[in-house]
Amino acid sequence: MITIIVCVTIILMNRCKSEEAKLKREGVFVIGSLFNSSFGADNGWVYKYEYYYENKKYVRSFAGPIGDRMIVDSLMFFKILPKKPEVCRQILNNRVPKCFRKIKLENKFWNEIPSCK
């Protein structure tokens, strides 16, 4: 039984590393919206967000500490895999410029984090 648990853990860790490497190489940036937050386990928060890629809406969630960037209805950058858009990582250290609040974001994606220029 322990052997099975160890094998499954190793497989899952390698899968996560593989996804991270693919995101780094092939990922594109999209802008999504945080639409819900609630208190979760272990004194943390669970945030739900949505983003669009090729006219399809994706809803995901992540756990983390509350912060000034984690306000419901705020926009956030996410990096996704174009061939598997449900693979997504939030980019917490970059604020979305206000100019993006005025445009439709459903079909927008970028190879680098965009600016208002």
pLDDT at 41 over 80: no
pLDDT at site 57: 92
1 part of a folded domain? no
Q: What is the mean pLDDT of the chain?
A: 79
CATH number at residue 53: 2.40.50
- Provide the number of structural domains found in the chain: 1
**Residue 45 is assigned to a structural domain of this protein:** yes
Please compute the mean of the pLDDT values over residues 102-117 and round it to a whole number.
81
Q: Measured between alpha carbons, how far is residue 2 from residues 8, 11, 116 in Å? A: 10, 14, 53
Distance separating alpha carbons of residues 15 and 80, to the nearest angstrom = 16
Highest mean pLDDT (candidates 23-27, 65-69, 99-103): 23-27
Q: Give me the sheet containing 45-53, strands edge to edge.
A: 56-64, 45-53, 28-39, 75-81, 84-95
More confident residue, 56 or 38: 56
Judged by DSSP in three states, 71 sits in coil
Residue 32 lies in a domain: yes
Domain that holds residue 62: 27-102
The answer to the question of residue 92 being in a domain is: yes
Looking at the domain assignment, is residue 50 inside a domain? yes
pLDDT at 101 (0 to 100): 77
